[in-house]
Structure formats: structure tokens, C-alpha cells
Structure 1
Amino acid sequence: MITIYDIANATGVSAPTVSKALNGTGHLSEKTREFILKKAHEMGYEPNSAARSLATKRTYLIGVIYDDPGMQRGFSHPVFSVVLNKFKENVEAAGYDIIFLSCHTKMSYRAHAAFRSVEGIAIINAESRFSEELEDLGKVGIPCISTNAVIPGICTIISDNKKAGYKAAEYLVSMGHKKIGFLGAPNDSFFYASKERQEGFFQYLSEHNIPIDKDFCEDCEDWNVKAGQKGFEKLYNRHPDMTAVFAVSDLLALGILDYVHEHKIKIPDDLSIVGFDDDYISEYTNPRLTTFRQDSESIANLAADLLLQHVVGVPVPNKMIHIPCEFMERDSVQRR
């Protein structure tokens, strides 16, 4: 195995100088650094992460919590898969590796993080049934960042759900709709994106003196297509006269499309639909789904930046940071 001493002999510089070049530290000229790095590459040098950890007492490991119990999409999740990939690119470019943390064994998130000696944790998406475990992470002092769960003591970067809900109501009303349904999803103390989207939706109606009838609202049992189909069936049975519906995720909207197809309801002639997430399939439905696109890359970039700052001791804000969504107007809404 090639060592820094072999590279030192080959380049005629000292071993500490080689170390500085390989680790990007010290005051070396670019010419010297490039010369050493080129020689190391030619010699087939591979860094020894174990030795590096012993020398620096750092692991350069970032723990990632990623679960998807609701949508059941795993690594094909329309939002969080992009967040995960972009986050991974950012931290690896900074010299860190990621490792997934699990709470499905007897070991807690906190214990798993300690066992793997991670320097920080990114909570990309998580299960609400582990809320106590997540809250525990916010109390122990390990640098954490979240991109979905709103956890006390942990900075959360999240889409501006309330403004998107406001825009959905504004758009449907501007298209002449008066009887508008709202198809929501489960909420709890840490995960309340659906609630925020509903709050924004109701805020627009209230500000424009449009009566709010909560009988036009239905919360689905989950975030997937089947739940959307069942939830919409309940809503439609109560209000077959509604002309539009805002669904808080595209998968719920796809459930609506399944239901209306079975019952010969025409979209958008009989019913207009607005979704949320801009799932990859949304542009290929018939008609193409009007929806909101979350800025997953901006969420990931900011999450990586803040977490890496936190790891090296730079304080991060203990609050929610909202990232705007983009409205994607397509063909599933018709003017009345």
C-alpha cells in the first residue's frame, strides 16, 4: 500500500508537506499542491480513512435518516430522493461520507449515531412513530438538520407549504370555482405539511370573505394513491356538486384520477384538480396535472451547508427556514 512517505520520497518533499497537500490544509503553493496530488494519483495512492480518523479524532461521517412509510416510494420519492442525492453530492464534495441510521432494530437513532461515531445527522424523511427518538436527537447536542420533520431544537428546511396552499385557493377561485374540496393527509406534532397547506388555503378564503365549509375537507388515512382514492370517495359522496379539489400530494391526486375514471367523471370538464409535489408522473397523466414543484435541490444545498457549518462549530438557526415552491400550471383545471 502506498503511503505518504512513499510519495514524499518520489516528490522530494517532506511527509508533512504531502499530508497538507492530500488533506487540503497548510500554506502550500498551488503548483506544489498540484504536483504532489498528481504524483499521488500516478502512484495509486488511496487514503486510509481509519488512520485519518485516529490522527484527527474525526470520522468525517454524516448520519442520514431516511424513511418513507406514508408514500411507500422509498428511494423513488418525488421530493426526498432528490434531496438525498443532492445532499450526498454536497457533503461528499466537502470530504465527508454518509451512512444511514436506522431505528428499526433494538438500537435507537441516538445509539446508532454514537456507535457509528457520526459527526452530524441529516433527517431527510422519517417516521412519525419514532417522534420520541427524533426529539431525543434535538436534546443531545449532536449537530442535526431536518428537511421535513419539525423537531424542537433542530433547524428545519422545509417548503413554504402555507404560501402554496394560499396560491392553490387563489388560482382555483380566479378560475371561477366556488365549491372547492380539500383533500388532506395525516398530521402530527412533527409532520404537519398537510396542515400548513390547509392553513394557507383557508387564509386566502378568509381574506376574500369566501365562506369556509370544513365539510368540504377530508383527511386521507395516508399519503399514497389508495388512500387518495378512498378519501376522495368520502368527500365526493358528501359533495358531488363540487367543481374543483386541491390535493396536498400528487399521489393523492392520482387516487382522485383513479376514482373519477371508474365513475366516468371527466377531468377537467366536470372536476378540476390541483396537486402538490410535481411527481414525475404528473406531467404524463391525462390530462396533465396542475401542481406545485418543491425546490428539492435548494433544500438539499442549504441543509448540507448548514449541517457542515454546525459540525465545525458554527451556530445554525434553531428555526424553520421556508423555501418557495413553483406553481406548475398544466391541463387539469378548467375555467368555470
Structure 2
Amino acid sequence: MVTIYDIAEATGYSAPTVSKALNGLGSLSEKTRQKILDKATELGYEPNITARTLTTKKSNLIGVIYDDTGMNKGFSHPLFSPILTSFRDKVEAAGYDIIFLSRHFNMSYFSHANFRCIDGMIIINPATNNPADFDDFIKAKLPRVSTNSIFKDICTVITENEQGGFTAGEYFIKHGHKKIAYISAPVDGISSAPTERYEGFKTALKLHNLFDEELYEVCSSWDKQSAYEAFGRLIKRRKDITAVFTTSDQLAFGVYDYAHDHNIRIPEDISVIGFDDDFASEYVGLTTFIQNSTEIGNIAAQMMLDQIDGKTVPETIRCKAELIERRSVKTIKGFRLF
């Protein structure tokens, strides 16, 4: 195995100088650094990550928390997957690798992070409904960023959910709807999206004196079967609703399934708006919101790199979601758009 001492002998530089060049440290000239890197490649040098970590106290690893909590989407989630891709591209360009953190083998996320000696951590989607599981991360000085859940003292890059909810409410109202329902994903204390979208939606309806608390239903999970059941409870309780806004497209698909099974037409009988622009949304004609996942991932990566460099970062950064108009919202007959 080629060592830094072999490279030092071949180039005429000292071992500490070679180490600085290989680890991107020190104030070496570009010519010197490149000469050492070229010789390392020529000799077939492969870095000893464990030794480098012990020496520099850096692993060049960013931990990723990304679990599927009942969504049954895995790495195909329309928001989380692109966030991960853009985040990975940016941190890899800066010289970091990513490693997934799990809660398996009786290890907490925090224990796994310590075991891997990570330099930073991104929370994309955790497999827990208990915010206390992150108390250790909140107290630690480890660079951290979140892209779906809001934690005190952890930089969060997230969608403007309230604005999205407000826009959905206004959109229905502008199309003449007055009995407008909201089907929420679980309010579990981790993801803020269900509550924030509802708050924006509620604000829009209250401005027009149309808010009715009875037209609110919460799903037991994030999957479409839970939404199927929630919409069933809602429609049996209030047969006068003409429109429904759902926390996510998966929940909207549950509404579609129930409508199909009970001869309810979309949008003729019920208008629907979702959130996420899932892959199937275009094919069913669902009006929905697309979140700027690439921007979220890029900003999250920059916030991570800034923290690693010792810079102060904002506590929360919001990115706008865009309404995609398709065929799932009907204009009430006799109503004139304003």
C-alpha cells in the first residue's frame, strides 16, 4: 500500500506537506499541491479514511436522515428524493460524501452519527413521531440542517407552506366554492407541513367568512388508504362540500379512489387540490403545488457548508411553492371569476 511517505520520497517534499496537499489543507501553492496530487495518482495512492479522521478530526462525511414513515414512497418521493439529489451534488462538489443514518441495531440517530464521526447532518425525513428523539442533536454543536421538520436551533430550509394553503383556499373561492374541506396528514409534532398548510388555508377562508371547522379531517397516516377513509368520514358527515384541499398528492389520490368507488365525479361533484406534484398527478389531471426541491436541496447544502466553515446561518429559510393548474377544479355554474 502506498503511503504519504512514499509520495514524499518521490516528490522531494516532506510528509507533512504531502499530507496538507492530500487533505486540502495549508497554504500550499497550486503548483506544489497539484504536483503532489499527480504523483499520488501515478503511484496509486488510496487514502486511509480512518487514519485521516484521527489526524484531522474530520471524516468528510455528512449524515443523512431519510426514512419512509408510512408514505410507501421510498426514494421516489416527489419532494425528498430531488432534495437529496441536489444536496448530495453540492456537498460532493465540496469534497464531502454522504452516509445514511438509521435507528437500527438498537442505535439512535445520534449514536449512529457519533459512531460514523460525521462532520454534519441533514434531516430530510425521520422515522419517528417523537421530537424528543432529536434532543441530543439540538444540544450538540454539530452542523445541522433540516428540510421538512422545524427544530429549535437547527437551520431549516422549507417550503412556504402557509402561503401554499392560502393560495389553495383563494383558488377554490375564485372558482365559486363555498363549502371547502381540508384533509390533513397526521399532525405528529415532526412535520410542520399539515398544520402550516391548514393555517394558510383557514386564513383565506376566514377572509371570505367561509371557514367551517367541521370541514376538517385528519388522516391516520400519509398514504392514500388513510385519505380514502378520512374522505369517507368527511363526505358522510357533510354531503354539501364541493371542494377539498389535501396536505399531499398521495392523500388526494385517496380521495380519487373513494370517488371512483362511490360514483363521485371529479371535478363535476368534488373539486380537489393536492400538494407535491407527484409523478401521477399530471396523468389524473390533479391541480396541485410543486415545491422547489432543487432550490431547497442547494440552499440546505450551502447552509451545511457554511456551518462547517464556522459561519452563522439563518434559523429558517422559506422557498415558494408554485400552483400547477390542471383539471381537478370546477368553476361553480353561474359564478363569474373575479
TM-score by length of 2: 0.90
Q: Distance in 2 between matches of 1:4 and 1:107?
A: 35
Q: Is the 8 Å Cα contact of residues 289 and 330 (structure 1) preserved in structure 2?
A: yes
The residue number in structure 1 matching 2:96 is 96
Do residues 122 (structure 1) and 122 (structure 2) align? Answer: yes
Alignment of 1:8-157 (within 5 A): 8-11=8-11, 15-157=15-157
Give the secondary-structure state (helix, strand or coil) at the position aligned to 1:240: coil
Equivalent residue number for residue 277 of structure 2: 278
Deviations 1:128-158 (A, max 9, x none): 4342111332023322211112112212211
Q: Is the 8 A contact 1:128 1:188 kept in 2?
A: no
- Aligned twin of 2:336: none
Match of 1:289 in 2: 286
Counterpart of 1:330 in structure 2 is 326
**Does the CA-based 8 Å contact 1:194-1:248 persist in structure 2?**
yes
Confirm whether residue 199 of structure 1 aligns to residue 196 of structure 2. no
Q: What is the CA–CA distance in structure 1 between the aligned matches of 2:88 and 2:321, rounded to whole Å?
A: 22
2:247 maps to: 248
Q: Which residue of 2 aligns with 1:302?
A: 299
User: How far apart are the structure 2 equivalents of 1:189 and 1:268?
Assistant: 33
How far the C-alpha of 1:308 sits from its partner, in A, is 2.3
Find the partner of 1:321 among 314, 317, 321.
Answer: 317
1:193-272 equivalent positions in 2, closer than 5 A? 193-207=193-207, 209-272=208-271
Structure 1 unaligned residues grouped into runs of 5+: none
Offset of residue 16 of structure 1: 4.6
Aligned partners of 2:129 and 2:326: how far apart in 1? 36
1:249 Cα offset (Å): 0.3
Partner of 1:182: 182
Distance in 2 (CA, whole Å) between partners of 1:194 and 1:161 is: 8
Inter-partner Cα distance in structure 1 for 2:54 and 2:202: 56
User: How far, CA to CA, are the matches of 2:14 and 2:76 in structure 1?
Assistant: 48
Q: How many residues of Structure 1 are paired with residues of Structure 2 in the alignment?
A: 332
User: C-alpha distance in 2, partners of 1:266/1:16?
Assistant: 73
Compute the displacement of 1:206 (Å). Answer: 1.8
Q: Distance in 2 between matches of 1:130 and 1:104?
A: 16
- Give, in whole Å, the separation in 2 of the partners of 1:4 and 1:106: 38
Secondary structure (helix, strand or coil) at the match of 1:306 reads helix
For residue 33 of structure 1, report the CA deviation from its aligned partner.
Answer: 4.1
- Identity within the alignment, %: 51
Distance of 1:141 and 1:37 partners within structure 2: 33
How far does residue 304 in structure 1 lie from its aligned partner after superposition?
A: 1.5
The Cα shift of 1:307 comes to 1.8
Bigger CA drift: 153-162 or 252-261? 153-162
SS in 1 for 2:280: helix
Counterpart of 1:237 in structure 2: which amino acid? K
Unaligned runs of 5+ in 2: 333-338
CA distance in 2 between partners of 1:151 and 1:213 (Å): 31
Q: Distance in 2 between matches of 1:316 and 1:275?
A: 32
Q: What is the TM-score when the length of structure 1 is the normalising length? A: 0.90
**Aligned with 2:191: secondary structure?**
coil
Aligned-partner Cα distance in 1 for 2:141–2:120? 10
8 A contact 1:128–1:191 mirrored in 2: no
Q: Deviations over 1:237-283 (max 9, x none)?
A: 12233221111100000001111111222222222111001111111
User: Matches of 1:331 and 1:200 in 2, distance apart?
Assistant: 23
Question: What amino acid is aligned across from residue 251 of structure 2 in structure 1?
Answer: L
Checking the alignment, whether the CA contact within 8 Å between 2:130 and 2:189 is kept in structure 1 is no
Q: 3-state DSSP class of the match of 1:149?
A: coil
**What is the Cα-based RMSD across aligned positions, in Å?**
2.1
d(CA) in 2 for partners of 1:63 and 1:13? 35
Task: Please tell me whether the aligned partners of residues 178 and 210 of structure 2 are also in contact (alpha carbons under 8 angstroms).
Answer: no
> How many angstroms does 1:332 deviate by?
1.3
Q: Shift of residue 35 of structure 1?
A: 4.5
2: CA distance, partners of 1:44 / 1:279: 45
The whole-number CA distance in structure 2 between the counterparts of 1:324 and 1:302 is: 13
Change (3 A) 1:57 1:140: closer
Secondary structure at 1:129 match in 2? coil
Q: Which amino acid aligns with 1:282?
A: S
Post-superposition offset of 1:15: 4.6
